[in-house]
Structure 1
Amino acid sequence: MPAVSRHPGTGARVPTGPTKAALSAERAGIVKKFGASSPRYWGLEAPGVQLRTAAHDAVALTFDCCGGHGGNRVDWDLLDFLERNDVAATFFLNYRWVHANRTAARRLIANPLFDVANHGSAHLPLSVSGRSAYGIAGTRDAGSCFDEVGINQEYLAGLMPKPPRYFRSGTAFFDDVAIEITRTMGLLPVGFSVNGDGGATFPAPTVAAQVSGAVAGDIVIAHANHPRGGTADGIKAAVPVLRRRGLKFLRLSDVAPAPVSVPAPAAS
């Protein structure tokens, strides 16, 4: 493993040596290209965010694992149910959650039923101007936007056969410049069209109703890091309902477009 140090902003462990040099060059290129850009949009549906898919017979279940205070748990009941019933899904893993739950992260990565995606380094809304969402301050500029995506991306890439292809910010809020940065880094920004568990606050009957109402092409967001919430039982109730309607469950890599990176210019 490469030597690591602590990033002063996120507290994340970051590589040193050749890997750090490569990341620093990429970061400098992002800052050069986007540092003076001003955002025009802030919210859940920024231009370029994947909100739905073109699947005509499938739903994409996605589960955030957010990490941090109160969010470093694992909903083993949910994972067991998905695996036992052959329900494909995509898991967005935050850097802090992975460090606290290595066994669960390895289990998700090893299972071909699941996609593993990037949910940021410090679970921040993705902004180039420090905009906040739900009381959480976002990244403040192009450089910190790169850090929020890139530190966790580099870390997950070291654990997986192939680097993650999809990114969802903390709170799922983006501005349009941050979207372009994410795409330039080679990841597809992903939002959602169905709020399955209200940030893990909905009781099981509400989760069941929300998810059961999904239609083909929907991307459902829920959470796999709050085992005391209603998510697992709600998903258990919704899955057979959707299957009776003829819908399948697929990973994002099965139904969403492949991300295409547009390299940023090298810093002079």
Structure 2
Amino acid sequence: MHLFQKHFCVIAMSMWAVSAAYAGPLVEPTLHIKPEGGSGRVALTLDACGGRTDTRILSALVENVIPATIFVTGIWLKRNAAAVEIMRAHPDLFELENHGGRHVPAVDTPRKIYGIRAAGSPAAVLAEVESGAAALAGTGEPAPKWFRGATAEYSPSAIAMIRKLGYKIAGFSINGDGGSLLGAKETTRRVAAAKDGDVIIAHINQPTHAAGEGVVQGLLALKAKGFTFVRLNDVDNFGNDGTTD
């Protein structure tokens, strides 16, 4: 191997090592609400990433008077004006919060999470958060207080930056629908297994997926047990990794 080639390989390996060390592990925060006791209460959070609206879920929430915190992207808002109007017509049930402008993971180093390319830099994370807030403002909604990034995974430095912007970061304690990829039976089981103080994450943007039916059935099972449903802004909550303190 020529001397130049050796030097090039050493430099390339050094750059890779620095990049890998800088990237570091990601954080998937948890979130709980203050337990109530008695029959218990849970917070339902639904992500509206892109695509359309699962009217099975939306109709069930309205008909059964189940409050929810909806994390919306700018992409979803543009495509789902009718659903947004339904949510805005029921301010006692729905609060809309920031899921980003383009559904880009809030990770400030270049990588992919579940096949989705991360923001990749602090400036790109900032743009994702701010564009999501701007999209919500365009609907006439109040300024969001919460942020949840695509994939719900973050770099620690991105968490710190988002917190400095004034947002709480919405983790969860129960993954209800496995990113909307689970079947109806398993989704029902997971949602119905919620306990007092849990925060459920599921999706309201996949109307063709079986998981949507499971979300509905799981929520109705919880309601039948006497659980109360609350929105994140209406209760005390606590997350790890500096996401809410």
Which interval holds the TM-score relative to the shorter structure? 0.7 to 0.9
State the alpha-carbon separation in 2 of the partners of residues 195 and 148 from structure 1.
23
Aligned residue identity for 2:87? L
Q: 1:161-199 CA distances to partner (integer Å, 9 max, x unpaired)?
A: 411111110111111111111111111111211111111
CA-CA distance at 1:207 after TM superposition: 0.9
Uncovered stretches (5+) of structure 1, i.e. residues with no partner: 1-37, 259-268
Give the match for residue 46 of structure 2: 63
Per-residue deviation, residues 97-156 of structure 1 (Å, max 9, x unmatched):
111112212322332211111111111111121232112121111111100100110221
1:40 Cα deviation from its structure 2 partner: 5.2
Whether the aligned pair in 2 keeps the contact of 1:55 and 1:255 (CA below 8 Å) is: no
Give the 3-state SS of the residue equivalent to 1:61 in structure 2.
Answer: strand
In the TM superposition, 1:218-229 aligns within 5 A as 218-229=198-209
**Alignment partner of 1:192 is 2:172:** yes
**Could you say if the C-alpha distance between residues 157 and 253 of structure 1 is closer, same or farther in structure 2, counting changes exceeding 3 Å?**
same
Distance 1:256 1:227 in 2: 32
Instruction: Give the RMSD, CA atoms, in angstroms.
Output: 1.8
Larger Rg: 2
TM-score computed with the length of structure 2 as normaliser: 0.81
Residue 80 (structure 2) pairs with residue 101 (structure 1): yes
Question: Which deviates more from structure 2 when the two are superposed, residues 224-233 or residues 116-125?
Answer: 224-233
Paired residue secondary structure (1:153)? helix
Distance, in Å, in 1 between the alignment partners of 2:211 and 2:177 is 6
Count of residue pairs brought into register by the alignment: 213
Question: In the alignment, which residue of structure 1 is the partner of 2:229?
Answer: 249
Q: Structure 2 matches for 1:24-63, cutoff 5 A?
A: 41-45=25-29, 51-56=31-36, 57-63=40-46
**Matching residue's letter, 1:226:** Q
**1:147 aligned to 105, 119, 127, which one?**
127
User: Aligned to 1:241, what secondary structure does the other structure show?
Assistant: helix
TM-score (norm 1): 0.74
Aligned AA for 1:108? Answer: M
Unaligned runs of 5+ in 2: 1-21, 239-245
Q: Secondary structure at the match of 1:92?
A: strand
CA distance in structure 1 between the aligned counterparts of 2:108 and 2:212, rounded to whole angstroms:
35
Distance 1:140 1:234 in 2: 34
Distance 1:40 1:232 in 2: 34
Greater share of helix residues, 1 or 2? 2
Identity of aligned residues (%): 34
* Counterpart contact for 1:78–1:224, Cα < 8 Å: yes
SS for the counterpart of 1:232 is helix
Q: Is the contact between residue 47 and residue 72 of structure 2 (CA under 8 Å) also seen in structure 1?
A: yes
CA 1:133–1:243: 2 relative to 1, 3 Å: same
